[in-house]
Chains A and B, each alone.
Chain A
Amino acid sequence: MNTDMKRRVFLKGSLAAGTMAVAAGAGLLAPQAVLAAWPKSAFKSKAPADALKGVFGSGTTQASDKIKIKAPDIAENGAVVPVTVSSSIPGVESIAIMASNNPTPLVAVFKLGKSTAADVSCRIKMGKTGDVVGVVKAGGKLYAARKSVKVTIGGCGG
C-alpha cells in the first residue's frame, strides 16, 4: 500500500511537471509569477507540519480558541465537505485549511488583503475520517484549531 502510494505520487509529480513544461514552451503560462509562487513542496508534503513549513516557514502552531471551524460532524460524502474558518485574532495575514488524514494534507491557503475579514469558506475533499485543521497566521505567529469530521464515503478514491 505504502509503496503503491509513493508510486502514485511520483507519477502524479512527473505528469504535472511534464504538462507544465509543455505549457511553458508554448508560452501559455500568462501569469508566470503567480504560478511560480505556488508552494509546490508544501502541497506535496504528506505530513501537516512539513506542509506548514513549506507555506509559512514554520511548522509549529499554537492552539487557539479564537479560531472557529465550521464543518459537519459527519460528512456523508467526502468529496464535498463544506468548511468555514473564521478567527477573531487581530491582524490575520493568511488562513490555511488542512485535512490531516488526506494523502497530502494541505488543501488551501488563503492570503488575505488588508481589508479582508478572517472568514473564508470553501468545500474540500476528505479521503477518510480525520481532523480539519484551520491554521491562521497573525503577527508572524501561527495559531491552529481543529475539528474532527467523520467521513462515511471517501472523496479521494475512484
Chain B
Amino acid sequence: MARKPIKIRAKLKGSMTTVKCLMSHPMETGRRKNKKTGKLIPAHFIQNVVAKHGDNEVLNADWSGGVSKNPYMAFKFSGASKGDTVTISWTDNMGKSASASATIK
C-alpha cells in the first residue's frame, strides 16, 4: 500500500504528551459511486485504532466510514517521558492492518 501508512508526532510538554498522527487510507464509506461505471465503491475504512505507550494502551478507537480520508487523529496523555515509544496501529474492515511507532520528543 502506501509508503508510509502512519505518520506520528509525539511531543512532551510539561506532564502531558501530545500525539498527532496521520494515516494513509482511502476510508470509503461504501455509499460512493464510481462515476464512470456507476457501481458502488465497496466500503473500505479503518475500524480500529490502538495507541500504546510502551505496553500501556492509551487509546483504543472504533471508527466508521464517517472519518475523513487519510485520517488525522490527535490526543494527549500523561505519565510519559522523553525517549519513550508511542506505537499506533490500525485494522480496517478488509482485515488489513498497519503499525508504526515514534519516540517522544
Contacts and interface: CB of A to CB of B under 8 A. Distances in A.
Q: Decide whether A and B are members of one complex.
A: yes
Contacts of B102: none
Interface residues of A, number: 51
Contacts, number: 150
Interface string A113-133: 101110111111100000000
B48 A35 contact: yes
Nearest to A29: B95
Interface string B52-75: 010011111111111111011111
B32 A111 contact: no
A108 B7 CA distance: 20
Contacts of A80: 68-69
Given A11-B40, A117-B16, A79 B68 contact: yes
A12 interface: yes
A11 B43 CA distance: 10
B31 to A, nearest CB: 6
8 contacts: A16-B43, A81-B68, A82-B72, A110-B61, A115-B53, A115-B79, A120-B73, A121-B75
A112 interface: yes
B95 A121 contact: no
Interface of B: 16, 29-35, 40, 42-43, 47-48, 50, 53, 56-69, 71-79, 91, 93-95, 97
Contact of B67 (A24, A31, A34, A124): A124
A58 to B, nearest CB: 17
A111 B9 CA distance: 20
A19 B94 contact: yes
Interface of A: 8, 11-12, 15-16, 19-20, 23-24, 28-31, 34-35, 37-39, 43, 55, 79-82, 84, 99, 102-104, 106-113, 115-117, 119-125, 155-158
